[in-house]
């Protein structure tokens, strides 16, 4: 191995005792490949197993915690006890290759396609549709329903423990239900679950408290609880960096094990601040990085990109598309073959890369999402 990449291979130990063999994490990525009943498919298990041999931790695609929260076709579920054997298959496939397995849990809220939720009853904090054209107007959740969904996050955590996962990640990012409660764009409530910033933080913090409570009660060994968040929104009014700083101040007071930033670009600047104010990651790391471990992500493609990101002080780096294109990303760098890391997709490589058909078709039909070689090179 090139000695300069040594920092990427340093061990990391969370305060609760969970040990990671290096600093590279697989980011959660939707693959649309589970069965209609919410169980994982063979192709999905093989896809995860293929990518779990080098990274220290795999954060799965999101699993819905209740039937009203299913956000994607081909999404797997953690919404009832019958899902535990399916979840166990996934956890085992990851852990058998040497990585820690973390289940991301979520509710899609107003982002759920009506055909995927019972009775087409799309719900959210308020009756405010997403900005995308044709989005359904969601029904505002009642107080009793909100408390039920909080319990659903706890139950999904219990199932993750029973299935053998090493932790759960609460999906509070990317415009889904938890973020919908935090956002002034989607939350227009005037009860305890809305109003001012403190009110809009009530639901995210209640979910965290319930997940931590269940993990403490049921886990017999160290069990990670992480929280993923999006720092800003494009909408007006929307979540600002100032709002997020307040949320982070509250989250670091909770017994969470890490915070995971959702960004397209690790080096992106805040929307409403001057370039001199620093990047979003710098804001976050400076505010809470000494109190909670931060996982950084976004357009980190090469070993040098990862090393540069790690030098900002963020202890863990998540890779997404890079591990789809190059499942041996970590192994090649560790073996001194960093120049052999694949940075494009060849149209003939689906079978070699164990990419399930739905994900492969989405990649091939979404120009610009992945760097795809021309077919005459296949």
- Please provide the DSSP assignment of 70-124 as one string: --STT--B-SSGGGHHHHHHHHHHHHTTT-EEEEEEE--GGGS-GGGSGGG--EE
Q: Is residue 372 part of a domain?
A: no
Query: For position 274, what pLDDT does the model report?
Result: 58
pLDDT per residue rounded down to tens, the chain (378 residues): 788 999 999 999 999 999 999 999 999 999 999 999 999 999 999 999 999 999 999 999 999 999 999 999 999 999 999 999 999 999 999 999 999 999 999 999 999 999 999 999 999 999 999 988 889 999 999 999 999 999 999 999 999 999 999 999 999 999 999 999 999 999 999 999 999 999 999 999 999 999 999 999 999 999 999 999 999 998 889 999 999 999 999 999 999 999 999 999 999 989 876 556 789 999 999 999 999 999 999 999 889 999 999 999 999 999 999 999 999 999 999 998 888 888 899 999 999 999 999 999 999 999 999 999 987 554
Task: Please give the Cα distance from 42 to 33 (Å, whole number).
Answer: 9
**CB atoms < 10 A from the CB of 98, how many?**
12
Q: 367 lies in a domain?
A: no
**246 falls within a domain:** yes
Q: What is the pLDDT of residue 337?
A: 86
306, part of any domain: yes
CA distance 153 to 151: 5
| pTM for the structure as a whole | 0.96
The phi-psi region of residue 227 (left if phi > 0; otherwise alpha if psi is between -120 and 50; otherwise beta) is beta
CB-based contact 46:89 (threshold 8 Å):
no
In a domain, 364, yes or no: no
Classify residue 39 as exposed, middle or buried by CB count within 10 Å of its CB (0-12, 13-18, 19+): middle
Please report, for the domain that includes residue 13, its CATH number. 3.20.20.70
Give the domain range for residue 253.
Answer: 3-343
The reported pLDDT for the residue numbered 378 is: 46
Cα–Cα distance between 12 and 167 in angstroms, integer? 16
- Residue that is written with structure tokens 């017994």 in the block: 255
| Residue-level length of the chain | 378
As for how many domains the chain has, the answer is 1
SS3 (DSSP) at 188? coil
Residue 114 inside a domain? The answer is yes
Contact 8, 303 (CB under 8 A): yes
Question: Annotated active-site positions, please?
Answer: 176
pLDDT at 275: 56
327 is a domain residue: yes
pLDDT at 101: 98
Query: Within a domain: residue 178?
Result: yes
């Amino acid at each position: 191995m090139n000695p300069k990449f040594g920092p990427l291979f340093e061990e990391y130990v969370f305060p609760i005792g969970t040990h990671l063999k290096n600093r590279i994490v697989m980011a959660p990525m939707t693959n649309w490949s589970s069965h209609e009943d919410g169980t994982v498919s063979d192709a999905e298990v093989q896809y995860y197993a293929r990518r779990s041999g080098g990274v220290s931790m795999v954060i799965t695609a999101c699993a819905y915690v209740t039937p009203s929260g299913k956000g994607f076709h081909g999404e797997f579920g953690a919404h009832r006890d019958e899902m535990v054997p399916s979840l166990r298959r996934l956890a085992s496939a990851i852990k058998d290759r040497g990585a820690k397995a973390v289940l991301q849990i979520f509710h899609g809220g107003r982002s759920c396609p009506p055909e995927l939720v019972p009775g087409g009853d799309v719900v959210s904090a308020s009756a405010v549709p997403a900005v995308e054209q044709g989005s359904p107007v969601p029904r505002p959740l009642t107080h009793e329903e909100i408390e039920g969904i909080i319990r659903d996050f706890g139950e999904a955590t219990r199932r993750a423990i029973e299935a053998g996962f090493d932790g759960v990640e609460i999906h509070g990012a990317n415009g889904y239900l938890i973020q919908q409660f935090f956002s002034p764009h989607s939350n227009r409530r005037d009860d305890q679950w809305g109003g001012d910033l403190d009110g809009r933080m009530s639901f995210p913090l209640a979910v965290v408290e319930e997940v931590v409570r269940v993990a403490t009660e049921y886990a017999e060994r160290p069990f990670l609880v992480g929280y993923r968040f999006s720092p800003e929104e494009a909408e007006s009014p929307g979540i600002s960096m100032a709002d997020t700083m307040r949320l982070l101040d509250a989250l670091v007071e909770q017994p969470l094990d890490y915070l995971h930033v959702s960004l397209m670009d690790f080096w992106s600047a805040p929307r409403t601040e001057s370039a001199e104010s620093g990047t979003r990651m710098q804001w976050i790391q400076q505010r809470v990085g000494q109190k909670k471990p931060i996982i950084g992500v976004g357009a980190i493609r090469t070993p040098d990109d990862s090393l540069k990101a790690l030098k900002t002080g963020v202890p863990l780096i998540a890779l997404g598309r890079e591990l789809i294109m190059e499942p041996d990303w970590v192994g090649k760098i560790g073996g001194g073959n960093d120049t052999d890391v694949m940075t494009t997709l060849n149209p003939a490589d689906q079978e070699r890369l164990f990419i399930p058909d739905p994900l492969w078709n989405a990649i091939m039909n979404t120009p610009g999402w992945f760097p795809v070689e021309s077919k005459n090179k296949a």
